[in-house]
Structures are given as C-alpha cells and as structure tokens.
Amino acid sequence: MQNYYSAGSYDAIVVGGGHAGCEAGLALSRMGFSTLLLTLNLDSIGLMPCNPAIGGTSKGHLVREIDALGGEMGLAADDTLIQLRMLNTGKGPAVYSLRAQMDKRRYHERMKLTLEKEPKLTLMQGECEHILEKHGKVTGILTSAGAKINTAVLILCTGVYLKSRILIGDWQQASGPAGFMRAEGLSNSLKELGFTLMRFKTGTPARLLGKSIDYSKMQRQDGDVPMQAFSFLTPERDMVQTPCYLTYTNEATHEVIRANLHRSPMYAGVIEGTGARYCPSIEDKIVRFKDKDRHQVFIEPEGLSTSEMYVQGMSTSLPADVQLQALRTIRGLEKCEVARFGYAIEYDCIDPTALSATLSKKDIEGLYCAGQINGTSGYEEAAGQGLYAAINAANWLLGKAPFLLSRSDAYIGVMVDDLTIKGVDEPYRMMTSRAEYRLILRQDNADMRLTELAKDTGLISQERYSLLLRKREALENALLRLDKVVPPDALLQEYLKEKGEPPAKSGIRLFELLKRRGVRYTELLSLYNFLPELEESALMQLEIMAQYGGYIEKQFEEVKRMEALEAAALPQDADYLSISGLRTEARQKLAARKPKSIGAAGRIPGVSPADVAVLLIWRKAQARRA
C-alpha cells in the first residue's frame, strides 16, 4: 500500500482546470477561501480541445449570465476573440446569441495568468486519485503521486478525462483530448462513494494547414461591425477581425463516407459511449439525413499565432486515410493537408440526479460536481456549472442559504434543474428550446436579472454594480419620458408615412408609438429632443419591452403559476409506492428521485400530468389529516 505524505490543507479544492474548474477556482478564492486548483496538466487550463469558439445559440446567453454573476469567461473571451457575430438576428430577440471565434492559445494564456495572479488560489499539476470521506463529509483527497491534501469542500470538474479513450478508425489510445494524459483512478473512487457512472462520447474534426486551402472557392464570413461584447464591463471597441469561410460537402463526399462506414468505430460497435444527438458526426449526418445532398462546412481559424484551421461540421472518428479522402472532395479543400486528424473520445461521467439543486452530492457534505462530469457538453455549460457550484460551496462554508437559480431566473437555472431532476441519457447541450421562459431570459438583460441576486457573493465589483444602476436609471428615465402624449402634428405624420405606418388620428403616447414595428427609439430622438440618449444595451431592452411587452407579461403570469407548484412542498419521507392512482413508472421514479415539490415532480421523465394531479390530491389529503 502506498504511503501518503501530508501536502497541507485548503478551505476548498477544485479538481480540473477546464472551463468549469477555472470559474470554480476563481469564484471560491475571490469569495475569500484558500483554494487549490489541481489539474492533470497546467498547459490544459482553459483548453478548447474542440471548437475554437465561445458562445452561439443559447451558449451566448450562458456566457452573459456567467458575466452578470461575476464570472471570468466573458471578460477572457472579449480579450482574446478574433471575430464576433450576433446569431439569429432574423428571428426574435429571445434567441439572439453572440458567438466569437477565439484565439485558443491566447485564451488559455490569459485564463492561466488570471488564475496565477489570484492571491488565495494555488495551482498544482497532479492527478486526484481518491476522495477521502468520513461520516458523510469530504475530508480531503489523495493524489497519484502520494500526496494527501485536506479540505472541507471538493468540486470535481474533471471534464472528459475520466478513463478517456481516443479512437480514429481501428486505432485507439488511452488518452485525454489533444494528447493530454487521462485520469486513471478517480472513476473507482466515485463508484465507492455511490455514484452511478455512465459512458459518454464526443468528438472533434480535423485541423488543416491554412496554406493548403483555396479560400477563393468559398464564401467569406466576416464579423459584425460595430462589435458588441460578452461582458457588460467591456466598452465598445473596434478591431480588425479574422474571417471564416463557408463551403459544403457534396455527393462525392457522402459516397466516400458511405463506402467506409464499416471502418468507423461508431458503426463497427467499438465505441461504448453514447454520443450527442445535437452535435452529430459527419457519419451520423450522412446516415440520418439521407435526403440532404450537402452539409455546411465552416473553415475557422484556431488563432493568430497558427495557420491551423478548424473544419466545423466534419466531426468524425473515421480512419485517417478516409478523412483525407473525404475532405479533398470538398470545394476549396481539393489539395488540403491535415495537421491533426479528427477523433472520437469516450469517457466516464456521473448520473447527475445524484446531485441536489446546488450541484452537491445529496448524501455527502462538501462534495460538488460541475461540467462534463455531470454529462454535459460545451465550454459554456461547464463554466456556468463551475461558477454556480462554487458560489454554493462558498455559501455552505459560510453557513449561508444556498444560491439557487430557478428556471425563470436564468439559463443556468434551467440547465441545473434539467440535470438534477430529469437526468441525462446523452451529452447535454443547452438550447433555447429547453427554456420555457426564453423571452424573459434574453441575453441582453442578463445583468438586470442576475447581478443584483449575486451582489452578496462578493463577486460583483463596484464598477459592475454602478453600471447596472446607471442602466436601470437610464431605462426608468426613458420610460418616464415615453409616457408623454404628443400631438399628431405634421412632423409626426410625415415620419409615420416614411415608415409605412398608419397616421396618428389623435394625440399618442410615445411608448405606444414605439410599439409599432417600424419605429425606432433613435429616430424618435430626432423628433423629440426631451427624450434621453441611451447606450446600445439599454436601447435594445427598451425596444424589446415596447414591442414584446404583452408576450413578456404572459410569461411572467406563467412564472407565477410555476412558482405556486414549486412552493407546493412534498415530504422527503413520502411513500410513493403506496399512493393509489399513481402509475407504476411514476411511483418508481418518484421514490428514486424524492422531489422536493410538485413542480419538480412534474419535470421527472415518466411522471405524467395525470400523476401530478394525483399528487396534488394526495398532498391536500395529507394536509387535512395533519
């Protein structure tokens, strides 16, 4: 048996230096706790082993929420991005989402330096092999190098490294992503602590040498001008942005892939893990969407200090020779050279229903899990969980109430609720369709929704809070001025005629005028000089409030109904197996999950609306007996 030496004590230990670990380590240390961040390799801190991008549909919402809560991802992304675009502008504002191409190396360096400079945070390279627990409480960890480190709080942010395996065709290797070593011993320790482990799979496409690509045959994709920002602290700025390029697969590409499906480890049955349905490999696309004669392929830069290009849309685990053959059938890639081949990676993760709403293990105090260990995919999902788990761990250490975000508070709240109540059977990806109240949970109002809630955490700087107050005051002032009734004079009628709007028949409130689709606040400014000028973020919110006010009110009414169900508490010792009227599946699921409320019970897969009605009747009967 190995002899372990004492390597000190910390208030908290974070295992893993990916996006979840970075946010967790920074939050705990900034909230005043001595924190150790232990990671397999310091060169993998803030690593982007897959897409060199941050944000995207719904993911941009998560980054804005992380920033509004005092996290680091938005600031780091703004500092190191090389292109920025707002997606879904042809749709409603609920689904507007920022997406940025990142300089991967600079993001890693920027995040690592931020961690190194944090006074109460210590970085260490090493492998956590075993979790120490006594009487239902975490007491420390053991490392593979023989160190014993004591702590009261442990946040596991292990990413895709738990017994991970890389597969390219029939070649495989016990390895983490991008050639980094994997974690060998921690999976067994998790089993000993009562976790149910699952095997998931994700993948990445090839990287090509830029000089071997003919960009003239592709569609150039430029960034937005003027630029916005992820962080509410980042001022407006202008910069030279790096273009991306769009091309397409074709029938020749599809024929190469179809002819070699038997050599794909996914279709040959070699891969054990479950893949992400919403991020399919190119093999999956060809098989599942047989009616499509082409698929989009985006050629994206990996950074300013490299000419490697990421081939978005071509994630694959096909053999290297097949990858090259298929790529060279694509317009602009006829002479491409591969710097790194695409691969699949499978790894261990936990069943997140073992966690409470704070992301702590239900039966072990001080043990939290965040990121891909919880069955999620994506940098943004991981970062959101890391920050959320850290705030709750800090509150637990302080003896304060948990910091809980509901489904109507934030996309982070939706994600945590989905994971802990519904569970996962494939890698979980955040999507706007998962949020019932997405018109309330827009990216533009993340600061208005969350910064005040996080004020007591110590993560909200005076600068951030002052900006929030200034924005709130500007909106209130503008709304007050917009309450003014203006006459239907010639100037107004001419403006409405130019906009294709019907004329005003009598005096009209300016706010009612702003509700008209063609009317913009900036144009009203030129007509009525008593209106205040607004910054872009406040301006967007004001126009959304005017144009979508009725829909927003309806969503707030839905939230009230949901809150009533959430307030209907269920006893933790309820004997669901004996409740008549419940279907057998519902009894089993309720007995296993022990939901805290009627609302939570209704979100458990296998519990129907009829079962919820039975629970409501049963609950009332219990109350009468009491």
Q: What is the DSSP string of 351-374?
A: -GGGB-TTSBBTTSBTEEE-SGGG
Query: At residue 174, does pLDDT exceed 90?
Result: yes
What integer pLDDT is reported at residue 273 of this predicted model? Answer: 79
* pLDDT at residue 280, as a whole number: 87
pLDDT band at 40 (very low <50, low <70, confident <90, very high): very high
Radius of gyration, CA atoms only, the chain: 26
Lowest mean pLDDT among 89-93, 157-161, 251-255, 385-389: 89-93
**Domain boundaries of the chain, sorted by first residue:** 1-459, 462-552, 568-625
Q: Give percent of the chain above pLDDT 70.
A: 100
Burial class of residue 212 in the structure, from the number of CB atoms within 10 Å of its CB (0-12 exposed, 13-18 middle, 19+ buried): middle
Please tell me what DSSP assigns to residue 545.
Answer: H
Cβ atoms of residues 64 and 443 within 8 Å: yes
CATH number of 462-552: 1.10.10.1800
Q: What does the angle CA 67 – CA 138 – CA 164 come to, to the nearest 5 degrees? A: 70
pLDDT(279) > 90: no
How far separated are the first and last CA of the chain, in Å rounded?
Answer: 56
At residue 565, the 3 state secondary structure works out as helix
Prediction pTM value: 0.95
| CA pair distance 34, 36, nearest whole angstrom | 7
The yes-or-no verdict on residue 615 having pLDDT over 90 is: yes
Residue 133: φ, ψ to 5°: -145, 140
- Rounded CA-CA distance 311/59 in Å is 20
Q: Which residues contact 620 (CB under 8 A, 6 or more apart)?
A: none
Supply 310's token pair.
């990421």
Nearest to 357 by CA among 346, 347, 368: 368
The whole-number pLDDT of residue 556 equals: 93
What's the rounded Cα separation, in Å, for the pair 221 and 507? Answer: 46
Report residue 55: phi and psi, to 5°. Answer: 95, -165
Tell me, what's the pLDDT at 136?
97
Give the integer Cα–Cα distance in Å for 347 and 600.
29
| 1-459 matches 568-625 in fold | no
* Residue burial 121-150, b: 16+ Cβ < 10 Å; e: rest: bbbeebbbbbbbbeeeebebbbbbeebbbe
- Strand pairing class (121-125; 244-248): unpaired
Identify which of 50, 49, 48 has the alpha carbon closest to the alpha carbon of residue 77: 48
In sequence order, which residues have a C-beta less than 8 Å from that of residue 331 and are 6 or more positions away? 217, 218, 247, 248, 250
Summarize pLDDT for 498-524 with one digit per residue, the tens: 988 899 989 999 999 999 988 999 999
- Tell me the mean pLDDT in the region 372-386: 97
Q: What is the pLDDT of residue 61?
A: 97
Q: Which of 327, 335, 322, 290 is nearest to 310 (CA)?
A: 327
Tell me how far apart the alpha carbons of residues 73 and 67 are, in angstroms, rounded to a whole number.
7
Q: How sure is the predictor about 623, in pLDDT bands with cuts at 50, 70 and 90? A: confident
Mean pLDDT (whole number) for 228-256: 95
CB 29 within 8 A of CB 119: yes
| 373 touches 189 (CB < 8 A) | no
Query: Does 547 have pLDDT greater than 70?
Result: yes
Q: Tokens in use for 74?
A: 């938005």
In the numeric block, which tokens belong to residue 414? 């939706």
Q: Count other C-beta atoms under 10 Å from residue 180's C-beta.
A: 17
Mean pLDDT of the chain: 95
CATH domain 568-625 topology: DNA polymerase; domain 1 (1.10.150)
Judge whether residue 26 has pLDDT over 90.
Answer: yes
Across 48-61, average pLDDT:
96
The Cα–Cα gap between 613 and 505 comes to 51
Query: Quick one: average pLDDT of 149-157?
Result: 98
The DSSP element (H or E) to which 550 belongs, if any, is helix 549-567
d(CA 427, CA 378): 9
Between CA 289 and CA 16 the distance in angstroms is 37
CATH tag, 1-459: 3.50.50.60
Task: Give the per-residue pLDDT at 456.
Answer: 94
**Whether pLDDT at 626 is above 80:** no
Please give the average per-residue pLDDT across 416-429, as a whole number. 95
Alpha carbon distance 539, 378 (integer Å): 31
- Contacts of residue 557, defined as CB under 8 A and 6 or more positions apart, other chains included, come to none
Token representation of residue 67: 């920033």
- pLDDT one-digit tens code per residue, 78-96: 999 999 999 998 888 899 9
Alpha carbon distance 439, 553 (integer Å): 10
Q: Tell me: pLDDT of 1 over 70.
A: no
Please provide residue 425's backbone torsions phi and psi, each rounded to the nearest 5 degrees: -125, 10
Q: What is the pLDDT of residues 469-504, one digit of tens each?
A: 999 999 999 999 999 999 999 999 999 999 888 999
Query: How far is CA 244 from its chain centroid?
Result: 23
Predicted confidence at residue 266, as pLDDT, reads 80
At 153, the amino acid letter reads V
